[in-house]
Structure 1
């Protein structure tokens, strides 16, 4: 451990690890007012500030570098709870944890330490990657360009769906240089020439800041760059690097099912009226309503179990990489598990989000209750990389032995 990480650890608050009172306090704070924020489209800057102060973003960082040293299974168990408390905040952090996974894990030498120190101090990293006119089939070509300008570089381009970046301290921008090499630039979110817009108008996940990033002659220092072909098998040059990001989304969806189960039970408990043909006078004694709540609760259990089982598979792939023996088979197994989890969890969440209204009746559809947020948020997250593509690839692999695609969220 070096002096920098020693001083960081000495000054930093205790991390909100699984089972700790710090985590429970943070989750309670994030949950408070989450429905109202969703309904009024109040961006959660205060809630993200609490996350930053808690250093939640360092949970996956190694302990000797100021982090929590959590396994992926442990981290994703926290993400499920975050998704239950506020899926918008959980989604805001997805790209940050993707950055941590790609660039702060040990590789050859100490190159990761620059980024690990930022994360250990509580800084949050966003992402600007997607381009609307990119031809993704067979790979990604970026129009965003990094060009030499004296001893430094400049970035120019436009990115879309930059989830979380307006809340972040740094933004990772994906681009290509003049020679076509792929590169990641990690720069402060307040850098001159970079404009972060909140123009996301989706029906769900309304508060994630999934907007446009505009780059106009943004200056970048050489030490802020990570070229894919110099990343020693980490970063975006790693096979199946998207599996973790996909499973992170699925963990949020599993959290939404937990929230739907709790909401359905609460609805039945406080329900005063019932139908003239109901089997019992009191809704709480109605076996049909009890069954509805039980089915949503079972869906939450199954969704969480699927996510954590896939996390175990990804942990095995990470272990092979950290030990210096990256195993492509292990990475493929992780991708396969993440794909299977998405296929089933998305379906459970969408069904459960609708079933809440079976527990609450027509009065539960009042706009003031905002109970449609569970379905809207789950449906929006599930639309990222539709499950049909995952199911087809899983089936093809089982029938023909063809591997899953290396690119995208596989």
Structure 2
């Protein structure tokens, strides 16, 4: 397991928004060896270390707090490019940015201020919320418990699908006190009683360490717990839209990666089909048409993600200012995010298949690992089925029924 950053020696100077050249160099280094890592299941600890060093996780923090003050749209532009470089690395950061957005970007007390300082210095936050025995639809009360013990609490329970936590310095875990009141705590991953297990065996996103996390009598201070309230965290309507759109941005990045590899594949081909309309693959109009199709779908996916991100920026600004139209704007952002998912998922899954249309049978060899694009896109798409989004959108447009205010909308 990687050694967490020390929160006592973190940098405090502002994170200047990355220059184009600096960002390009970082993404190029992350992209190097990506296919081989995925094929050999080599965990990207080094690549995450580079991200911590660049303090990319502080993009959404205010400049005064040591962050870059980036908008959501600016963040998602970078995430799309990061997913193009390595979809696993982008996915690993999803929970970090979601936690920052809820509890760290605008701290409400000294404890949250300490979390903000850690993020400004490069720390990454993981997540441990999902339980396999959640009893019913819509129930968000966790079985993991905060049990009073003197002035502190003891945390006990098991979480699954803890994406990114293996690479993180801190982890947000959701639990409930004896009265059933749910809350969240952000604690160091190396605290006694925490066990991280890399047991994710999905067909795609193989390096995200989306595994199991055990908490056994983990001591948690009262000030480290944020119990749910109507105006913070999970109590905010459409509070998961950011997390949903983040996944969709990663999917859009996969479309760009498929385009990149498809172009390189056509350029590298030395021979073509017996009945091809041109002896040189680069001059084959059918291959050119397929590349154009992949490029157009990738462009459409990126565009709808960024439009939804702009709507989410508007809603976030309204919530921060306490404006009365905040929930209405949040609903619009959720609607555009759901529509973006439908477009981007379809584009990436199709593009992951179209790459073989320009390569022939030899492109299916394990050494090429081109199938990772389809596997990764299909895995990410499965997180929240498109069919539920399509039905909710149709129900809203026909009958005016609002989208679900909780869950990933």
Q: Please report the TM-score for the alignment, with normalisation by the length of structure 2.
A: 0.95
Once the two structures are superposed, residues 208-262 of structure 1 have per-residue CA deviations (whole angstroms, 9 ceiling, x without a partner) of 0100001111110112111112xx6121221111100000000000000001001
Partner of 1:174: 174
Partner of 1:41: 41
The alignment status of 1:116 with 2:120, answered yes or no, reads no
Partner of 2:399: 400
Q: Single out whichever of 317-326 and 387-396 deviates more from structure 2.
A: 317-326
Offset of residue 22 of structure 1: 1.9
SS in structure 1 opposite 2:343?
A: helix
Distance in 2, Cα, partners of 1:358 & 1:379: 18
Alpha-carbon contact 2:60-2:105 (below 8 Å) kept: no
Offset of residue 135 of structure 1: 2.6
1:88/1:261 CA distance change after superposition, 3 Å: same
Offset of residue 322 of structure 1: 1.3
Distance in 2, Cα, partners of 1:16 & 1:255: 21
Partner of 2:341: 342
Alpha-carbon contact 2:111-2:224 (below 8 Å) kept: no
Offset of residue 110 of structure 1: 6.4
Once the two structures are superposed, residues 329-356 of structure 1 have per-residue CA deviations (whole angstroms, 9 ceiling, x without a partner) of 0111111111000011100100000000
SS in structure 2 opposite 1:148?
A: strand
For residues 310-321 of structure 1, what are the structure 2 equivalents within 5 Å? 310-321=308-319
SS in structure 2 opposite 1:368?
A: coil
Alpha-carbon contact 1:307-1:338 (below 8 Å) kept: yes
Alpha-carbon contact 1:16-1:54 (below 8 Å) kept: no
SS in structure 1 opposite 2:161?
A: strand
Distance in 1, Cα, partners of 2:156 & 2:72: 35
Alpha-carbon contact 2:272-2:280 (below 8 Å) kept: yes
Distance in 1, Cα, partners of 2:61 & 2:137: 33
Distance in 1, Cα, partners of 2:108 & 2:208: 34
Distance in 2, Cα, partners of 1:33 & 1:16: 26
Distance in 2, Cα, partners of 1:265 & 1:136: 47
Partner of 1:286: 284
Distance in 2, Cα, partners of 1:116 & 1:353: 38
Gaps of 5+ in 1: none
Partner of 2:320: 322
Offset of residue 16 of structure 1: 5.5
Alpha-carbon contact 2:52-2:122 (below 8 Å) kept: yes
Distance in 2, Cα, partners of 1:141 & 1:109: 24
SS in structure 2 opposite 1:137?
A: coil
Distance in 2, Cα, partners of 1:111 & 1:398: 43
Partner of 1:363: 362
Partner of 1:352: 351
Alpha-carbon contact 1:105-1:322 (below 8 Å) kept: no
For residues 32-71 of structure 1, what are the structure 2 equivalents within 5 Å? 32-71=32-71
Distance in 2, Cα, partners of 1:89 & 1:184: 25
SS in structure 2 opposite 1:315?
A: helix
SS in structure 2 opposite 1:254?
A: helix
Offset of residue 107 of structure 1: 6.1
Gaps of 5+ in 2: 1-6
The alignment status of 1:409 with 2:402, answered yes or no, reads no
Partner of 1:309: 307
Partner of 2:133: 133
Partner of 1:387: 386
Distance in 1, Cα, partners of 2:288 & 2:371: 20
Distance in 2, Cα, partners of 1:374 & 1:16: 30
Partner of 1:273: 271
Runs of 4+ in 1 over 3 A off after TM superposition: 7-10, 107-112
Distance in 1, Cα, partners of 2:284 & 2:25: 35
1:217/1:126 CA distance change after superposition, 3 Å: same
Aligned length: 400
SS in structure 1 opposite 2:96?
A: helix
Partner of 2:241: 243
SS in structure 2 opposite 1:133?
A: coil
Once the two structures are superposed, residues 113-153 of structure 1 have per-residue CA deviations (whole angstroms, 9 ceiling, x without a partner) of 22211110110000000000103412323110111001110
Distance in 2, Cα, partners of 1:215 & 1:172: 12
Distance in 2, Cα, partners of 1:53 & 1:175: 31
SS in structure 2 opposite 1:186?
A: strand
Q: Single out whichever of 317-326 and 165-174 deviates more from structure 2.
A: 317-326
Partner of 1:373: 372
Offset of residue 324 of structure 1: 2.3
The alignment status of 1:88 with 2:88, answered yes or no, reads yes
SS in structure 2 opposite 1:214?
A: strand
Alpha-carbon contact 1:343-1:391 (below 8 Å) kept: yes
